[in-house]
Amino acid sequence: MDANLHSPQRLLIELRIEHADLDDLIDRHLIATPADDLVLRRLKKRRLALRDRIALLETALEPPEPA
């Protein structure tokens, strides 16, 4: 059971959820408040870093294609 808590698949799911949460936060921030460019840039930079981690993890989990 503990192995499932730390599996790469679970990490991937958690990263996707965090990325979706950041998307929602950015959208709400754009609608609800006057543009705070610094906060918005930081959120977008964090979202981009998450997307990069997700892509690396997906690549590591996918089996290599036969030649």
Is the pLDDT score of 53 beyond 60? yes
What does the alpha-carbon distance between residue 59 and residue 4 come to, in Å, rounded to a whole number? Answer: 20
Tracing tokens 């989990």 back to the chain, one arrives at 61
Helices (H), 1-67: 2-5, 8-32, 37-61
Q: Tell me which of 7-11, 13-17, 60-64 is least confident.
A: 60-64
Average confidence (pLDDT) over 3-28? 91
pLDDT at 26: 92
Q: What's the pTM value of the predicted model, to 2 decimals?
A: 0.80
Is the pLDDT score of 3 beyond 80? no
pLDDT at 2: 63
* Percent share of the chain, pLDDT over 90: 57
